[in-house]
Structure 1
Amino acid sequence: MDGGVDLLIPVKMLHAAKSRLLGALDGGARDPRLHSSLVIALALDTATAAREAVGVRRVHVLTADSTTAAAVRADGFSVVTDHHDAGLNAALRHGSEWLRNHVGADRIGALQADLPALTALELGAAIAAAGQSRGFCPDRQGTGTTFLLAARGEALDPRFGVGSARRHREAGAVELRGSWPTLRCDVDTAADLGEAASLGLGPRTAELFERADQVGARRPARRGA
């Protein structure tokens, strides 16, 4: 029986996460507390949408950061603790092995933690499009990867980093093609955040915009409003 996908969502230590977004909500003041809140909001909006997607068994946040871990546990998400400091791919390999050994995960995926406009419908459609194959979804530029899915019973084999779409393709992953703008819209810069806002942000990220009074010409829409 198909038990669904166990998804890993990796989040760096807050002091090192999403450095190009530092100052994006405070007019360049670069408040580290506001930045940390933004990183956590991005991850929680991503995880909440993923949890509701058809085909997802459970969402696990992969992090070594205690503040992030406490926030996601408070929202009911499983935490896989990353004890390594060897980069994203090493962390994902550790997390996928932990899931196989401790929760009996049979099919594992990795989803970037910076998809605040993500909808469950689009993620579910990408999982369905993969069928039983190993697959990946490129970002909106076509060079990065927002979502990687292993074939059932096989290793995740993550190859994230610059040019990851090409590397995942060369490693045998099928490129998942569909009109999924919210799944492709990862957020690395203030411009990316504006692009996500035009699609409709999840509630936590949208609330930060409102609290910071960063409305501007492209006011972020609270999803469902």
Structure 2
Amino acid sequence: MPVKHLDRAKSRLRGAAPGGAAGHRDLVLAVVRDTVAAAVAAVRAVLVVCEDARVVEALRGSGAECVDQPGLPGLNAALAFGADRLRARDPASVVGALQADLPALVPAQLRAAVAEAAGRRAFTPDRPGTGTVLLLSAAGGGLDPRFGPGSAAAHGADAIAVGLGSAALRCDVDTAADLAVAAALGLGAHTARRVRAAGRVG
């Protein structure tokens, strides 16, 4: 699971919470914490690759392993780094990349998507259907992340789509409008507290 430096993360979400830059960081971190909590409850191991010591501190005790690894050249490099680290421990396993901006995620939907993949290379598109929220390797296979514009089509070239009916899994949050959709589905505890304090959504 990749997490950007909090000062640069989710620029299009700015203004969704009061308090200026600090309020924005708190909201982003709340979203990350809820996504991690759901993932930890759903899969065997969660590795967060980040570049901010504040993320490491916030996730202490979450059940996820958090690696502060600044300087990686972009999202795909961070995901490849994490996948290689996990694969070294269990060469025959399925490894996955899950976006960290899924505040409505529930463990059952993530478990169901992994089960649907059944050891095959698979992906889950985002709500508009153009991006990717989850990418799974085949058992023992490479992750080969292709995140960026049009990533759903890029991943769909050699992966099956799973989790298409899982609204919370597909609801990544980039804008205030996305946050409102996630709130209608049901936010995780950390994000819900931030949103209630802001009085902006739900």
- Fold-level similarity (TM above 0.5): yes
Which ranges of structure 1 fall in alignment gaps of 5 or more residues?
Answer: 1-8, 220-225
Q: Residues 78-120 of structure 1, C-alpha deviation per residue, up to 9 Å, x if partnerless?
A: 112323331100111111112223x336221010000000011
TM-score normalized by structure 2?
0.95
Q: What is residue 200 of structure 1 aligned with on the other side?
A: 186
Structure 1 consecutive aligned stretches of length 4 or more whose deviation exceeds 3 Å: none
* Bigger fraction of residues in helix: 2
Whether 1:63 and 2:55 are equivalent positions in the alignment is no
Spell out the pairing of 1:97-108 with structure 2 (5 A cutoff): 97-101=84-88, 103-104=89-90, 106-108=93-95
Q: Percent identity?
A: 49
Cα distance between partner residues in 2 of 1:66 and 1:177: 33
Match of 1:190 in 2: 176
For 1:19, the equivalent position in structure 2 comes to 11
The residue aligned with 1:48 is 37
The partner residue of 1:176 within 162, 165, 172 is 162
Within 2, Cα distance between the matches of 1:187 and 1:158? 20
Count of aligned pairs: 201
Matched with 2:113 is 126
**1:95 aligned to 2:67?**
no
Distance 1:185 1:152, change over 3 A: same
Note the C-alpha offset of 1:77: 1.9
Picking from 33, 40, 57, the partner of 2:22 is 33
Q: Output the CA distance in 2 between the equivalents of 1:37 and 1:136.
A: 29
- Partners of 1:13 and 1:181 in 2: CA distance: 27
Q: CA, structure 1 residues 177+212, in 2 after alignment: closer, same or farther (shift >3 Å)?
A: closer
With over 3 angstroms needed to count, the CA separation of the structure-2 counterparts of 1:69 and 1:177, relative to structure 1, is closer
CA deviation vs aligned residue, 1:155-186 (integer Å, no higher than 9, x gap): 1100001100000012x111115310000000
For structure 2, the 5+ residue unaligned runs are none
1:204–1:32 distance in 2 versus 1, CA, 3 Å: same
Q: 1:212 Cα shift?
A: 2.0
